[in-house]
Amino acid sequence: NAGVMQNPRHLVRRRGQEARLRCSPMKGHSHVYWYRQLPEEGLKFMVYLQKENIIDESGMPKERFSAEFPKEGPSILRIQQVVRGDSAAYFCASSPTRLFHSYEQYFGPGTRLTVT
Amino acid sequence: QKEVEQNSGPLSVPEGAIASLNCTYSDRGSQSFFWYRQYSGKSPELIMSIYSNGDKEDGRFTAQLNKASQYVSLLIRDSQPSDSATYLCAVNLDTGNQFYFGTGTSLTVIP
């Protein structure tokens, strides 16, 4: 499967626990984006990363949320001390290098986070 | 003002008809435009991208872009029940990193 991979697909956490969401981009893609989607709402941009760099985190809440894309391994979105309002679908998307003006983003299957 | 606006619908069309989905955007610096389809409980799937004014056709789908009017649309010809989904419009500034998504239009194709 050469598509964007995310795991876990479903994650249940109790309030106050930490949630770690993982994303492996499509082969050959070096740009990763994280989005959050609440029920009946649109996709909200959170953060844009390249390998070892956070390029744009303007959509990320200032507290409890962090993201990384290490040199080796998947991108990780971390939510500390989760609250019920964090329950949502979190989607990762990847795109090839923008050098060739290809801005198309391809989405993974998402992680459904439920905070109890 | 929202960056990207779509009529939330629901839009219902009979099978075989043309479905027309519309999207307006606020930032004149927007350069790249995309249509995604999202089935309930699934992730968005890229259908079309368009970068220049005019029409772009791909099978039963036609994207139309009018930058002067800040308007992009998606036409689905010979609509099928399997086209029933939510269609998301996305816009990207050439110098920016974010995609701005509309809230989507729900389409139902009635057999």
Q: Do A107 and B44 touch (CB under 8 A)?
A: yes
Taking CA–CA distances from B37, the nearest residue in chain A reads A107
For residue A48, give the H/E element and its range: strand A43-50
As a residue count, chain B comes to 111
- Does residue A83 sit at the B interface (CB-CB below 8 Å)? no
Model confidence over B14-64: pLDDT tens digits? 999 999 999 999 988 888 899 999 999 999 999 999 988 999 999 999 999
Q: How many CB pairs under 8 A join A and B?
A: 50
Model confidence over A55-98: pLDDT tens digits? 889 899 999 999 999 999 999 999 999 999 999 999 999 988 66
Distance CA A81, CA A98 (A): 35
- Cβ-contact A26, A33 below 8 angstroms: no
Model confidence over A101-110: pLDDT tens digits? 557 889 999 9
Which residues in B lie closer than 8 A to residue A56 (C-beta atoms)? Answer: 96-98
- Cβ-contact A62, A83 below 8 angstroms: no
| Distance to chain B for A33, nearest Cα, Å | 9
| Distance to chain B for A102, nearest Cα, Å | 10
Taking CA–CA distances from B89, the nearest residue in chain A reads A42
Of A21, A29, A16, A9, the residue nearest A46 (C-alpha): A21
Give the mean model confidence (pLDDT) for residues A29-37.
93
* Per-residue confidence band for B67, with pLDDT thresholds at 50, 70 and 90: very high
Which residues in A lie closer than 8 A to residue B49 (C-beta atoms)? Answer: 103-104
